[in-house]
Amino acid sequence: MQGKHGSEGVRYDRAQLLRLGTLAAAPLVLGLPAARAAIADDVIHGRRARLAARLKNGELAWWPTWGGGYHYVPRRVLTTQESAAFVARRLNRFGAKPFIEPRTAEAFKFAGIAELQVAVQKPAVPQILAGTFGKEASSRREPAVAPHYVLFGEPEYEGGPFGPPTPAAAETPYAPAPPEGGPRVAVIDTGYHWGIHPDLDAHVLPKAGASQLPDVTPHDSVLDDEAAHGLFITGIIVRLAQTVTVEIVRALDGLGLAKEGTIVAALTAFARRGDVNVINLSLGALGDPRFPPVGLAQGHARLPTTTAVVAAAGNNHTNQPMYPAAFARVVGVAAAADRSGTPAVFTNYGPWVDCYAPGVDVPSAFDDWNGLVPTNPQSTETFNGWATWNGTSFAAPKVSGTIAALVGPAATGQQAADALVNDPTRPWRADYGRFLDL
């Protein structure tokens, strides 16, 4: 919801975003050494190996930046349909051709997105874009163009939990099944595991393709890195909005990964859904401010203006813009360490963040699991349906649930979000926004 640093459709100014990055670059990366070390240590055994396998087989690639770096789909470029011919001509020497992915073709057409594929492996797409469209901010308006980003809700990367879950004691039951006409929240995430919490299930719409078991990516008898992420988030929302109905969209796999096109397809499914008051996105990518994600921008621009969108700010302790949290259309949520308003050591920050809420030792519903876990594959661990977890992934649904609880005849989801984030009675902190003690 930060108007100066976001995007609505094609109405974004890359030069302005670049100025934000240039000004921030020097002080930003100093950060907290302890937080950086914790992230770099890779506490979850084997996660890097699983990600490295995807890098090796060409499913995704990595590009370093001043604030952390990002993953993207190799050789692929996203632009708008209006700019596609111009961008293709500029990239002609790299053998750029139109590319159509059947699974996202309809969503891309609806959102006004075009995809190109370059013929060369080197230079990499970020180098091609920087060399073709300028390394520095330009006084003239460049076309909307960007890598095809890969988004994560995964612990060590953008948007997801900070570290693994910890087994916890059972919480009190969830509220009874919601009445007709109550608020509705969409959770675009890893999916949901029905049957673990029948009282929570009563708030979740049955939906084909939305189920996700705790060991699927890979299926190796080890708890997935991001098992129960969507289930955990749903529990947080329902705890705060007792009459809410939750609609699950499975977009992230068990590693917590999805191509930008997959998220765009999920978003555009709600373009004509005025009945959905809030969309929760506990995922993201540390996108290059010179080339903010075209697909996500176009997808968000197609959503009803009455629908609030809430996204996690990420856990990399950087103020490099995190998308979609950094878009003007979105409420970007950072994490607090406690109820006093102290920021969590891992949380991202910056002028693009709208608010922050407690995101450390958050309790919620989890899977039943008795077996090997990725933190220590030599031993077993038992989860009896409950856990505590850390991260902006879990601060975000606190905000989503609170917004949903405020929705009513006098307030749409977006109006409720505006009122919450701009509440003058709540404390405000530079680079973190409004503190919400939720």
Examine residue 6 and state whether it is found in any structural domain, yes or no: no
What are 195-198's contacts with CB under 8 Å, separation 24+? 196/231, 196/365, 196/366, 196/367, 196/368, 196/385, 197/231, 197/235, 197/365, 197/385
Tally the domains of the chain.
Answer: 1
**409 has pLDDT over 80:** yes
Q: What is the pLDDT of residues 98-109, one digit of tens each?
A: 999 999 999 999
Beta strand pairing call for 355-358 and 433-435:
parallel
Examine residue 308 and state whether it is found in any structural domain, yes or no: yes
Examine residue 140 and state whether it is found in any structural domain, yes or no: no
Domain that residue 309 falls in: 166-435
Q: What is the pLDDT of residues 111-131, one digit of tens each?
A: 999 999 999 999 999 999 999
Examine residue 328 and state whether it is found in any structural domain, yes or no: yes
CATH number of the domain at 301, please.
3.40.50.200
Under 8 Å between Cβ of 364 and 43: no
Examine residue 313 and state whether it is found in any structural domain, yes or no: yes
Tell me which range, 21-25, 68-72, 292-296, is most confidently predicted by mean pLDDT: 292-296
Q: How confident is the model at residue 218 (pLDDT cuts 50, 70, 90)?
A: confident
Examine residue 296 and state whether it is found in any structural domain, yes or no: yes
Examine residue 246 and state whether it is found in any structural domain, yes or no: yes
Examine residue 26 and state whether it is found in any structural domain, yes or no: no
